[in-house]
A and B are shown apart, each in its own frame.
Chain A
Amino acid sequence: MPLNIEEIRATFPVLHQEVNGKPLIYFDNAATTQKPQSVLDALTGYYQNDNSNIHRGAHTLADRATRHYEETREGVKNFINANESAEVIFTKGTTESINLVASSYGRKFITKGDEIIISTLEHHSNIVPWQMLCEEKEAVLKVIPINDKGEILLDEFENMLSDKTKFVSIVHVSNALGTINPVKEIIKKAHQVGAKVLLDGAQSTNHLDIDVQDLDCDFLAFSAHKLYGPTGLGILYGKRSLLEIMPPYQGGGEMIKEVTFAKTTYNEIPFKFEAGTPNIADVIAFQKALDFISIIGKSNIKKHEDELLDHANETFGQIKGFVPVGTAAEKVSVVSFNINGMHPFDVGVMLDANGIAVRTGHHCTQPLMQRLGLEGTVRASFSVYNTKSEIDQMAVSLAKIAKIKNK
């Protein structure tokens, strides 16, 4: 049964507004998705009814908040099919999740001469933490090259692997191009040489079914705000065997078992990695986002988004001067492009004047842009609440804009 998109749209208040005198068309979903009413209600509901600090109070409100908070952990566990909820750590975003691993696992287990592998497709947040670690430890950062379509060269990756390879940190889905990487194979190959693998799932968790046990990744990092959830909340999944041998990331309350001035013993996982009062409200509200996804069904979401992607490729492809960037065989619903003779910023500003929100620039992937020889791109990214008619409207605006330089 096809999804009732109008019904879905009705639950997203932000979509129903005019921007620059035109109905808003929100195509910047890879940056952040909009939030359904249920998530907004859960946020205010928490502050109105349950607000209290968790894991410490002996009173009813604290107990209620703790229960809801831990329910989300269970919800995330199910969402990614982790073995147990203790393997789910709340952070403030993908960025912090990756930094946590680089800093805790990395600083303990990476030593001089070790090699860490990333790819050309990485977001800055999956580059810089590893560069910092490599600099500190005199380790070597290696980068898997891509082809012109924006696909990772697996052969090259295999050639890089050796007993020096200690860690592979790789983006599951490229935010700039939408490429889906063959991560299962990458993980298998990396494990064969004894390396651990972190998946940057910021752009995959909202489009693809994720089963961390089937993928066998050692870590998975993602952000709630790209999954219809609140900002300021991220998830780090890690295998228990690894989380247990990793030192804490930050010190403070919550993460301790016992503190004396002589010595502190640390709490069990996941609490060992959640120092201080966590982001209680956003964690609790995030469960509603997970519910939203599971009610519609990920496969239904994916199917709808794939249809939007096909439709966009077809309609935009007919525009004179339209140059797609990133044409991998396996992609999520992201269309990155340039218009001949025009700077992506200008295209973005003109689309905005038509009420259409897209992202322009380097998308926090400057090394990728350098590889492609581009200053940046315009990126339209689609979500479950977008429609073909919105794409048609963008095509009309885009055709008019492209005409300025492509007569």
Chain B
Amino acid sequence: MSSIQDIQDEIIEEFSILGDDKESTIYYIMELGGQLPQFPEEERVEENIIKGCQSKVWLTTREEGERIQYLADSNTDITKGLISLLIRVLSGRTPQEILKADLNFIDKIGMGNIIGSQRSNGLSAMIKQMKLYALAYQAKQNV
């Protein structure tokens, strides 16, 4: 399996092909959002909503041995696209890898500029919540 950095480099490469055309970048992000796997309906509950996002975002996890699978959804397509990028980078990793991860692709693809500052705060909230899950799993594994 490629490393977190390998995947990030892949994403940076994909976005660099789009250049600085904001419109096609957004279309691409929305397309990615469309490919997000179905979110389990029974987990679309208040407790799984991430606070601090302008749009609604649901996040939940599955344990697969040592690894964490993330499942997420949003009511906006652009946010779904952003989530799908995070999932691509972080899902299926060990808590240690997730907690260590330096998500440099976000700055490198100029995400702040693409999605604006309000959504950037939402993105940070999402990352924080993903890392909190990793922390909880790590604590559990260490017991």
Contact = CB atoms under 8 A, between A and B. Distances in A.
B48 interface: no
Contact of B77 (A20, A343, A375): A343
A345 interface: yes
Contacts of B135: none
B5 interface: no
B20 to A, nearest CB: 8
A361 B115 CA distance: 15
B12 interface: no
Contacts of B119: 345, 349
Nearest to B56: A375
Contacts of A375: 75
B23 A343 contact: no
Interface in A336-372: 342-343, 345-346, 349-350, 352-354, 361
Contacts of A350: 23, 26
B124 interface: no
Contacts of B30: 346, 404
B74 to A, nearest CB: 8
Interface string B22-45: 110110001000000000000000
A349 B75 contact: no
A353 B77 contact: no
Given A343-B76, A343-B77, A349 B26 contact: yes
Contact of B76 (A346, A352, A404): A346
Contacts of B55: 343, 345
Contact of B116 (A343, A349, A361): A349
Dominant secondary structure at the B interface: helix
B72 interface: no
Nearest to B23: A353
A342 B55 CA distance: 12
A361 B118 CA distance: 12
Contacts of A346: 30, 76-78
B76 A345 contact: yes
A375 B55 CA distance: 10
Interface residues of B, number: 16
Interface in A1-34: 20-21
B21 to A, nearest CB: 8
Interface in B85-137: 115-116, 119
A182 B54 CA distance: 34
A349 B23 CA distance: 9
Nearest to A405: B77
A379 to B, nearest CB: 16
Contacts of B26: 349-350, 353
A349 B27 CA distance: 11
A350 B76 CA distance: 12
Nearest to B21: A21
B77 to A, nearest CB: 5
A342 B33 CA distance: 13
A345 B54 contact: yes
Contacts of A404: 30
B77 A354 contact: no
B115 A343 contact: no
Q: Which among A20, A342, A346, A361 has the highest number of chain B CB atoms within 10 Å?
A: A346
Contacts of A342: 77
A342 B25 CA distance: 18
Q: Which among A350, A352, A361 has the highest number of chain B CB atoms within 10 Å?
A: A350
A205 to B, nearest CB: 29
A350 B54 CA distance: 16
A354 B75 CA distance: 23
B120 to A, nearest CB: 12
Nearest to A342: B77
Contacts of B116: 349, 352
A350 B116 CA distance: 12
Interface string A87-100: 00000000000000
A93 B55 CA distance: 29
Contacts of A349: 26, 78, 115-116, 119
B43 to A, nearest CB: 21
Nearest to B78: A346
The 4 tightest CB contacts between A and B, nearest first, are: A343-B76, A353-B22, A353-B23, A20-B22
15 contacts: A343-B55, A343-B78, A345-B54, A345-B55, A345-B76, A345-B78, A345-B79, A345-B119, A346-B78, A349-B78, A349-B115, A352-B22, A352-B116, A353-B22, A404-B30
Given A350-B26, A353-B22, 12 more contacts: A21-B22, A342-B77, A345-B54, A345-B55, A346-B76, A346-B78, A349-B26, A349-B78, A350-B23, A352-B22, A353-B26, A361-B54
Interface of A: 20-21, 342-343, 345-346, 349-350, 352-354, 361, 375, 404
Interface of B: 21-23, 25-26, 30, 54-55, 75-79, 115-116, 119
